Structure 1
């Protein structure tokens, strides 16, 4: 919803892959801006074209190298620990696994050092002008304000040289918010985005309580046009009369919807959390 320009650009990337051309796609945006939803939309379109899709996600915590890519590696060789610290072996394994398809990496700003180095190597390889014998599309979704400088530098360089496609998930306009609210009243089919897609990609069917009378314009202002914030307000049964002191009267559903956000806040230090 409201991402027509971004969707068109992502479709062009898939067109290129079908013609044998790989690419690096950066999906950038603030928390709650809908980066994961754009990645899920790309995964759905790739699946419809018969292109394989592999998901990877940077965990909030964990031990060992290459944590971001362990699920993407599958149950082969390195994934089972035969040589868990060899960068060259991981590079070749990921390239082989992703060949001809789409590798989606979510929350790249949380990458561990070894995963970051692997991502940078993949970026350099895919964004070069030399043709690849096994092309694929690497999608990196991240929050620029939280991403390591090395990643930002590599992505900015690639965008300037036209080697990387940058898709920005900015705020939605009022019309898109209205359409999104209507969409959330209709449940999303289970598995619409393929195996391995993040749970956060599927929005529940929330019905706006009739007693609020909240218009799309009011919710757009309160949420700043960010889909993630909008979902929290809708889950709470948004009440313009209570805002901004409270979102609404359904605190239990608000807390359930906000679980990922609360987990992220809980991982911060005391001063950062304050």
Structure 2
């Protein structure tokens, strides 16, 4: 059920303003943060759509949690989307060689940005490898002199135990080019608007809003129950909840199970 882009007006305005600054020569880094399903990727896609309409080149890379994914995977994808080479030859060598390779990639992004600026999106960076995170930090340190806007999305619920990620986030927090956007659930009015486009009544949309907390993924999945019998949750919601519970310790899962029984 796709009802189009709803809400996030303030967040989108901030992103568009940063993109205009980048096109003017002062690049930046925006971290878009939130729980799974909250709309981070959707917001980045909407920005990318509008950037493309304005003639701004757009590159996209997505980190992977799959075993065997190579180092720098998110940046390899970004380079491929921009039809640019990735300097694989020296990134695994000495510190000096790696620094030179990082600089070569930064130069390549600046070339891709001429003359209209560049929007580069790195999605799901909570899964990025340590090498990719090191390159991200390196790029951020020189963005203020590049016509490039880097938009990075990550799940702040999945940082525990990811030492390279937490170290990179700490390093990025010290950079003046950084803007952080934390997404919360859609408002009740926004959920009513979103589901109303799909023919869902305002009363049911209000109920979905309250049950979902405005999380767009849960909103869409729960709305699929409209017109069906029973209170069973959609498979997509069940699978997502199971995945989240699987990351908890055994005592935490036992506590959640007890609360569910009592609740």
* TM-score when normalising by structure 1: 0.72
Residues in 1 aligned to 2:73 and 2:242: alpha-carbon distance in whole angstroms:
19
The range that moved more, 216-225 or 140-149, is 140-149
Local SS of the residue matching 1:215: helix
Partner residue of 2:79 out of 70, 73, 83: 73
Partner residue of 1:85 out of 83, 92, 97: 92
Partner residue of 1:141 out of 149, 153, 165: 153
Distance 1:267 1:11, change over 3 A: same
Q: Which has the higher helix share?
A: 2
Local SS of the residue matching 2:170: helix
Residues in 2 aligned to 1:50 and 1:222: alpha-carbon distance in whole angstroms:
40
Structure 1 portions without partners, runs of 5+: 186-206, 248-253
Distance 1:85 1:77, change over 3 A: farther
Displacement after TM superposition at 1:91 (Å): 4.6
Local SS of the residue matching 2:142: helix
Residues in 2 aligned to 1:272 and 1:230: alpha-carbon distance in whole angstroms:
30
* TM-score when normalising by structure 2: 0.74
Residues in 2 aligned to 1:53 and 1:263: alpha-carbon distance in whole angstroms:
35
The answer for the alignment partner of 1:198 in structure 2 is none
Partner residue of 1:217 out of 175, 200, 206: 206
The answer for the alignment partner of 1:101 in structure 2 is 118
Residues 65, 84 of structure 1: 8 Å contact kept? no
Whether 1:232 and 2:236 are equivalent positions in the alignment is no
The answer for the alignment partner of 1:189 in structure 2 is none
Highest relative contact order (Cα 8 Å, sep 6+), 1 or 2? 2
How many residues matched?
A: 230
Residues 214, 238 of structure 1: 8 Å contact kept? no
Displacement after TM superposition at 1:47 (Å): 0.7
Residues 58, 67 of structure 1: 8 Å contact kept? yes
